[in-house]
Structures are given as C-alpha cells and as structure tokens.
Amino acid sequence: MIKDTVRLPENMDTGSILVLSILGGGFILGVWFILIRRDAALEVRQGMVADGLRAPVQSSSFSSARSEFERKLMMIESERRRRNLSGGVSVSLIPQEQQPIEPVQEEPFWEEPPAEEEPEEEHEETEEEMLERRRQRDEEWARREEEEERRRREEEEAAMAEQQERLKKEQEEQAERDRIEAEKAAEEARANAERDAAAQAERDAEEAARQAELAAAEEQRLAEIRAAQEKDALERRQAASRALEELRARLEREGARSSDVQVSLMWNNYNDLDLHVVCP
C-alpha cells in the first residue's frame, strides 16, 4: 500500500546531486575542523565559555577575564621565547581566522612570525619589563573598575535624588490638594451655617408674627367679650328700669299708694327677672 502511494525517484537531476554533495562536504569539513582545533578545549569556569573565544558570560566578571588574559599572555610569551631560543618558526596559539575578543579598550594581541632573524636581545623581553607591563595593566584594570564603580555610584545617587525630588513634589502636591479640599470643606460648612442661620431667623420671624397675630386675635376676642358683657348689663338695666316704670304706672292706675307697696326686682337663677310686690 505504501509502495503504491509513495514512489521514490529512480533518477536524480544534476543540480540536486551537486547540492547534496556541497552540503555533505561542508558538514564533513566542519566536523574535521572541530576535531583538529587545539585551542577550543572547553574549560568549565565561571564567566567564561570555550578557551580562546574570550566571551564573558557575565558583564561584571572582570577578575575572571583578567586572570584568563594573563594566563594566555604568559603562554604566548613562553612560546615566543622558546621558539626564538630554538631558532625555529613560531606558531601562533590562536588561529588566524579566529580573532580573540579582548576586554574593552584592550588591543588584541596578534602573534606574527618574525620576517627575519633579529638579535636575541631585541626579541626577548626582560622580567622587569614584563612585571612593569603587568603592573600597568593591573593599574589600568583597577582604574577602570574604580571608574565603573564611581559611575555606578553617581547613577545611583542621581536616581535616588530624582526619586526623592519626585516624592517631595508628590508630597507637596498632595499637601496642596489637602489644603484646597480643607478650604473648600470649610467654605461649604460656613455657607451651610449661614444658610441654616438665615432659615432659622426666617422661622423665628414667622413664629413671632404668628404669636403677634394670636395675641392680637386674643385681645380682640377679650375686647368683644367685654363689650358683649357691658352691652348685656346695659340691656338688663334698661329692662329693669322699664319694668319698674310699667309697675308704677299700673299702680297709679289702680289707685294704690306707693308707700303701701314694696316693689323689688330679683334675678331668678341669674337668668329670669322676677317682680316681687309686697303689700301690708
């Protein structure tokens, strides 16, 4: 079933064969180059990768990079001295196609075979010069580390000052907002108090006017009561006078003497006026 479905080509064209040949040859050449390299021995170290590549893993590992550089430099110097003393041709430990990656502002060290034989005293470096150069290199590393530390401190101080300034500005803005809110609240409270006082004064005035109206109405009612009482008393006196006059007129008509008759008017149960006539 699979053989019927998938059919492999029996003949390949020339271009495909050429591409496969190039890829296979490149792969074999790469494997051979890796196997014959002598400077790519891997060392497990903190901050370093393959020996000779000089690529630091961490940017702050200056001590490891410096020690590795010094070790490599000493190996090169030893090899140069040995080759110069033996009169042979010096062989560079670092291949020409792979340049070492040195630290910042460090000139890469290139070892070139001597073009011609020179006196031994010109090629060979004294121990004092090597120590002096190492001391200068250490001073340069120390100066760079000190400069880096100073720059980092300045950046931290600048960041801290900026943060403090920002916090101070935020506190001032918050204090200003609180002050404005407090003034607004006080103004609203004062306006509410004034409005309440005005409303209370208006209510007091209305209550005073109402009390005055009630007092005037009560005074008018009492005056009307007194007037009604006076009118009633006057009417009673007038009625008594008329009754007495009528009684006297009737007695005179009947011939009675006024000295023989005692006439008195009495209120019966404080409502009815009775006439009492007493004869001897």
Q: Answer yes or no: are the C-beta atoms of 111 and 123 closer than 8 Å.
A: no
pLDDT of residue 13: 83
Convert the pLDDT of each residue in 142-190 to its tens digit: 888 899 999 999 999 999 999 999 999 999 999 999 999 999 999 999 9
- Name residue 251's amino acid: L
- When computed from its CA atoms, the radius of gyration of the chain, rounded to whole angstroms, is 68
Question: Exposed e or buried b for every residue in 96-130, given b needs 16+ CB within 10 A?
Answer: eeeebeeeeebeeeeeeeeeeeeeeeeeeeeeeee
pLDDT of residue 270: 47
- Say how far apart CA 171 and CA 54 lie, in whole Å: 51
SS3 category, 278? strand
- What's the whole-model pTM score? 0.28
- The phi, psi pair for 133, rounded to 5°, reads -65, -40
The residues pairing with 264 across neighbouring beta strands, listed in sequence order, are 276
pLDDT at residue 255 is higher than 90: no
Residue 274 CB partners (closer than 8 Å, separation 6+): 265, 266, 267, 268
Convert the pLDDT of each residue in 104-141 to its tens digit: 444 444 444 444 444 444 445 677 788 888 888 888 88
